[in-house]
Structure 1
Amino acid sequence: MTPEVATPLVSPQPTSAPPIAIVATPVPALILPPSSSQSASVPPLASPALNELSLSRSQYSAGESITVSFRIDPALSHDQTAWIGIVPADVPHGSESENDKYDLSFQYLEGKAQGEMSFVAPETPGNYDLRLHTSDSNGLEIAHVNFSVSGPVKPISGNALVLDKSRYLPGETIIVTVSIKAEDKRDESAWVGLLPSVIEHGDEALNDRHHLAYQYMGKYLSGKMRFEAPKVPGFYDLRLHDSDDNGRELVYVSFVVDSP
Structure 2
Amino acid sequence: MVRSSNPIPLRRGDGDGVGRRPQSHSLLVIALLISASLFLVGASVGATLTVGPDERIQAAIDGAGEGDVVLVEAGVYRERLVVDKGIALQGVASPSITAGGSGSAVTLQAEGASIVGFEIFGSGSEETDAGVKVLAKGCTVEENLVVENGIGILLQAAGGATISNNSVEKNGVGISLMASWENDISYNRISENGEGIRIAKSDASESITASDGGGVSIKYRPKSEAPVLSVSEIGFAAGRKENRVFGNELLNNGVNARDDGENLWHLGNIGNHHSDFDSIEEGCRDRDRDGICDSPLKIPGGYSADGYPVATEDAVLRYRAVSGDFELVLYRSTFSPGQKIPLGFKAPGSFSGRAVLILPAPGPGEGEDGTGAAAGPADAAVSSQILEGEKGTVAFTAPEEEGSYAFLMLDGSGIEIVALPFKVATPALEASTSSAGTCDGVIVNFSGAPGFEGDWIGLFAAGSGDDAPISRQHLDGESAGTRSFAMPSSAGIYDLRLFEDGGQKSLAKSGAVEVKPSAGVRIRASPAAARPGEPITVSFWGAKPASSIGMYEMTSPDKFMLAMQWTSGRSCGTMTFRAPSAPGRYDFRLFEDNVHRKHMGASNVVVVK
User: Would you call these one fold, judging by a TM-score over 0.5?
Assistant: no
Higher strand content, 1 or 2 = 2
Q: Which has the larger radius of gyration?
A: 1
TM-score where L is the length of structure 1: 0.39
TM-score where L is the length of structure 2: 0.19
Higher relative contact order (CA 8 A, sep 6+): 1
